[in-house]
Amino acid sequence: MNLSDAIPDHATMCYEVTEYAKRPNGSLKPADLAREDACTLGQWLTKDGATHEALPAYASLNAAHAKFHRASADTVQQADDKALPEGWQDEKAKLKASLGDLCGAIMKMDFTIG
């Protein structure tokens, strides 16, 4: 897997979650978004990438990936529950920060394993 391919995949997911939160319609499911192993990066982390689990960069990537999926699922759940505050700036900031952290962790892992 080319790790850098995971960046646009997760950026797209972030965009879809942000758009969904504006007009929730049931098309996104929190349980699906919470599944870290459902995306290509998650599959890599649990299979081929697991050979690198002793590396600190792997632990950072795994944690950042989990955080991003949790933030995505939480945002959709709040949107479905009509629990997002007006403007929902804090939630958008958390989601975008988790994407930024994930991108940084992907790049660090990619650099580490060459």
Of 37, 36, 18, 35, the C-alpha closest to 76 is: 18
Is the pLDDT confidence value at 65 over 90? yes
CA distances from 78 to 15, 34, 96, 100 (A): 16, 14, 16, 21
pLDDT at 29 over 90: yes
pTM for this prediction: 0.94
CATH number at residue 40: 1.20.120.30
| Residue 70 pLDDT | 97
Instruction: Please tell me the predicted confidence (pLDDT) of residue 108.
Output: 97
Query: Above 90 in pLDDT, residue 86?
Result: no
Full domain range(s) for residue 86: 3-113
In total, how many domains does the chain have? 1
- Position 99 scores a pLDDT of 97
Q: Cα 69 vs. chain centroid, distance in angstroms?
A: 4
Looking at residue 88, its pLDDT comes to 85
Residue with tokens 């995949």: 9
